[in-house]
Structure formats: C-alpha cells, structure tokens
Structure 1
Amino acid sequence: MTQKTLMLSLLTVALLSSNQSISQPNDFKKVQIPGKNDVIIQGDLYQLEKIDKPFVLLFHQASYSRGEYRETAPWLNEMGFSCLAIDQRSGKKVNGVENETFKQAKAKGLETDYVAAIPDLRATIDYVLNELGQKEIILVGSSYSASLIFILATEYPDKVKGLASFSPGEYFTYNDKKIATYAASVRCPIFVTSAAHEKKHWESIYSAVKSEKQYYLPDSRGHHGSKALWGENKGHEKYRQAFKQFLAQF
C-alpha cells in the first residue's frame, strides 16, 4: 500500500479549513459502560445529531483520565466527528478530571497495568457499535493506549476504519507478541505522531504496517501523547493540521 509522509502546506491547510455548518452537541453527556469484573467505565459522550462520519473513540495516556480530551473532543465535533472519551483502569487524573474506572478497579483489588485496560477498550467499542448503533469507528490512542489500539484494530477489522496513534511504542507485549506484530495485520489507514525524540520508539511498529500510513514529527522538541493537540502547548497548531489532514479522508 502507499506510504505517505505528511508534508504540510498552506494549500493543504486552506483546503481543510472549510466553512461547512454542522450540528453542535450540547456540551457532553456522561455515560456509564459495563466493563469486566463489574467495573463501570465512565465516559464523556460528545455526540452530534447528524453523524455521517466514523465515530471517534478517545483513549488516554498513563496516569490520565478522560479529561485528556476535554479540549480535543469539541474540536473534533467542529469537524463533524462524534466522539467518546473514557476512563481506562490504568490511569489517574488530568485537567481536574478523576479517573473513575481506575478508582473502582483499585477498590476491587484488580490489576491496573497497561494491558489490564484492554477489556475497557473492548467494552467501549462494543458499546459504540451495539448501544449507539455506529457502524464505523476511528480509534485514537495516547501513549500506552496508542499501542493498544493496534491490537484492537486486528480484533475489529471490519469496523475500525482508521487509527490515530499519539506516541506509541513497544511498552509491553500481548499474548507474547510485540505491538509491531499486530501492526502488520492492520488493514485501515493509520496516523502516527509523537515528540521528535520518540520516533525511535515507534519506528518498528510503523515499518510493520502494510496499510496506508502517515506520520508527523515536529521541527522542535514536541510533546508526548495527545496533549500535543492542547492549545496551551507550543506547536499544537501543526499537530492539529497534520491530524486534520489525516481525518480529511473520512
């Protein structure tokens, strides 16, 4: 398949900056998703009235919560994407938002490492497909969840239409397999980005991908995970431009 390295230009940005009017959500709605071991997954649902694009699932990084996407989710809404941000059981707090799933898992004496969060991601995908009735999804991951989404894409190949992976790496193995092994089986287009110095952590994963792929690296140091999109962080404009260019195909 075709490999594309993002080359941002003023023309590209202009083409992506359309003035189309879309339905806006009334802020977000809190939802609760039944998870493994009777853990209830807390989520923030940013749903538009009219949905004609794949539904975006937003997974946070280590020690964080669904609060990682309080700024990013409305921005995705502006582009016409409904989305859902959840608390995974591996995480804690960010932007003043406590990770409720983590608190439940700890109270029950359950594992809260990176791989332990996979059932939370599966439950979220099933919820969006079965309860919300969505037929196509895009998975967005940050740090450790940026690696987990490659596993999930192989489990839902007909539903996952795109992956956006912010700072993935070989942080763990799953079923004794590296993330690159799962990446080799991904069918959908992928987008990878990170801080500049982190490329070495995901090069093997990216190289293994056989489907259409794009990546963006900043000229400066950059940022780890999806917080690269936050308005307070230097260089966020170019991260957003690159991500937006990837999303334009949907």
Structure 2
Amino acid sequence: MQFKNISLVFLLSFSIFIFIACTDDGNLTDPIIEVVDTDTAFTKTIEFASEDDLIITADHYHVKNNLPVIVLCHQANWSRGEYAEIAPKLNALGFNCIAIDQRSGGTINGVDNETTKRASNAGKGTAFNDAKQDINAAIAKAKELYDTTVILWGSSYSSALALIVATENENVEQVLSFSPGEYLGTVKVGESITSLDKPAFLTSSKSEGNQTKELFDVIPSDTKIQFVPNGNGEHGSRALWEDKADNAEYWVAVKAFLGK
C-alpha cells in the first residue's frame, strides 16, 4: 500500500520517524516518512540534519518509546562504531540510544564516519569545535523522537563538548563525560561549565584523573561523580569495551549513576 501527501498518522502503538534524504553534497531534499512499531526493539542507521543542514549519520538503538534516550558521541578520529558494543548493553539497562557520527572523526570497529565524509566533500570545517552543532542537533532529534529525558554522553574531545552542551542546552538532563580535558583551543572548558547544575558523571583513565578533577571541581552541581578506576583504565568510552581489563568497574560506576 502506498501513501501520498500524508499529513497526519497517529496509530496507537505506532509513531512516525522522519528519515531525511540528501544529495551528494550533504544537503536536504524531500523527507521520507516511515511508520515504525515503537513497541518492537530495533537497531537501524538513520540520518538527520545538523544545525547547518549537513546530514548526520547515526545508529539508532531503540528499545521502547517511553524510555529515556542517551545521545552517544565518539572520540577523535573515530565514529559511531565506538558504541557498537556499548549501546546494546545500555539498551538492556532500559535506555534507547542514538550513537552519532560527528563531523570531526574517522573510522573505528570497521565503521566509517559518514558525517566526516560529507563535511569534507562540502568544504565544511571538521575541527573539534565544529562538531558542537552536530551534538545539539542530535539532542533535538532525540527529543523529537522520544519527548522524554535526554542523557548526553561524550568521549575524549566530545566529552568536553558534552559538558559545555549540557550546561547550555535545556533539553539535556544528565551528562556522562569520559576523559574530558581542555581540548578545544580558545574555547576553555573549565570556564564554560561553571553553571552546570545537572547530574554529571566524569571519569577517565587513572593517569588522567587529575586533569578530570580540574573540570570536576568547577561544576556546581549537587549531583556529580568523579570515578577513577583502581586499575590503569582507558581513555574515553572504550573503557567499557569487554576486552579492556578494567571494564567491569567502569560499568558498576556507570550503572550506579544511571540508577541501575
């Protein structure tokens, strides 16, 4: 059955997901409307527009429509593939996830960063700070899809951006930051998060503990946690990968923060 000129579709346990088609230069064309049964878990790759209309690629890990959603952001030179192992575990804890390709990235776990390719082809900047608009767009998309709690999660450079975005964006209710630091050049993270009053979880490898504490100490939130592993740990969200020696203690800390 085909539907043309659809203006409204609300069917009990169904919701509408709008997947944006794009041209080769990464600009918007006409939207494609797809109806998905929101009671059925799925994983699929989606696309949506950043604040400058560059198309962002993301992996959407859906569990149930009324559960919170976590926006997952990768580290430098990587992609949404950083979360291929992590997101399903977060699903099992009761969280929908959207793992995005920011425009500053590359390849990890066999997953290319499609947003980086589009940005490069369009002559757009791919520096760390350029990715901030992608994170804000992903939060807006998450809020559109679920209209519920949005949790922001960053890794390395994106963990620094995540703290800043969480400070500024009213749709973020909690933030997790894996190995934050002053990675953003003239944008000083410590100066940008002095009004962050939301629940915040900061962690790192053991050797990065002091630089993380410098940022932790300026956050005024009444609900903030800095986790430093007993072992050496890892840089960024890969600390949670199964092949990392200290992943179990990181998971205990993450679950405690998320109330699981």
TM-score range, shorter chain: 0.7 to 0.9
1:33 corresponds to which of 31, 48, 53: 48
TM-score (norm 1): 0.84
CA-CA distance at 1:155 after TM superposition: 2.1
Aligned to 1:92: 106
Cα gap change, 1:200/1:135 in structure 2, threshold over 3 Å: closer, same or farther? same
* 1:124 maps to 2:142: no
Contact 1:186 1:210 in 2 (8 A): yes
Contact 2:78 2:105 in 1 (8 A): yes
Cα gap change, 1:63/1:104 in structure 2, threshold over 3 Å: closer, same or farther? same
* 1:248 maps to 2:259: yes
CA distance in structure 2 between the aligned counterparts of 1:149 and 1:238, rounded to whole angstroms: 23
* 1:43 maps to 2:58: yes
Query: How many pairs does the alignment contain?
Result: 221
Q: Which runs of 4+ in 1 moved over 3 A?
A: none
CA-CA distance at 1:172 after TM superposition: 1.6
CA distance in structure 1 between the aligned counterparts of 2:183 and 2:77, rounded to whole angstroms: 15
**Bigger relative CO (Cα 8 Å, ≥ 6 apart):** 1
Other structure's SS at 1:171 match: coil
Other structure's SS at 2:243 match: coil
CA distance in structure 2 between the aligned counterparts of 1:35 and 1:214, rounded to whole angstroms: 31
Contact 1:185 1:210 in 2 (8 A): yes
- Higher Rg of the two aligned structures: 2
Contact 1:55 1:134 in 2 (8 A): no
* 1:56 maps to 2:70: yes
Alignment of 1:193-232 (within 5 A): 193-211=203-221, 212-232=223-243
CA-CA distance at 1:184 after TM superposition: 1.5
Cα gap change, 1:74/1:184 in structure 2, threshold over 3 Å: closer, same or farther? same
CA-CA distance at 1:37 after TM superposition: 4.0
CA distance in structure 1 between the aligned counterparts of 2:132 and 2:118, rounded to whole angstroms: 16
User: 1:134 corresponds to which letter in structure 2?
Assistant: D
* 1:179 maps to 2:189: yes
Gaps of 5+ in 2: 1-38
* 1:74 maps to 2:88: yes
Contact 2:74 2:82 in 1 (8 A): yes
CA-CA distance at 1:36 after TM superposition: 4.0
Specify which structure has the higher proportion of strand. 2
User: 1:113 corresponds to which letter in structure 2?
Assistant: A
Aligned to 2:176: 164
CA distance in structure 1 between the aligned counterparts of 2:230 and 2:154, rounded to whole angstroms: 22
User: 1:88 corresponds to which letter in structure 2?
Assistant: Q
CA distance in structure 2 between the aligned counterparts of 1:213 and 1:38, rounded to whole angstroms: 34
CA distance in structure 2 between the aligned counterparts of 1:185 and 1:43, rounded to whole angstroms: 30
| RMSD (Å) for aligned C-alpha atoms | 1.6
CA-CA distance at 1:219 after TM superposition: 1.9
Percent identity between matched residues is: 40
CA-CA distance at 1:109 after TM superposition: 1.6
CA distance in structure 2 between the aligned counterparts of 1:24 and 1:240, rounded to whole angstroms: 26
Contact 1:51 1:80 in 2 (8 A): no
CA-CA distance at 1:50 after TM superposition: 4.3
Cα gap change, 1:168/1:180 in structure 2, threshold over 3 Å: closer, same or farther? same
Aligned to 1:114: 128
Contact 2:69 2:146 in 1 (8 A): no
TM-score (norm 2): 0.81
Contact 1:32 1:41 in 2 (8 A): yes
Other structure's SS at 2:207 match: helix
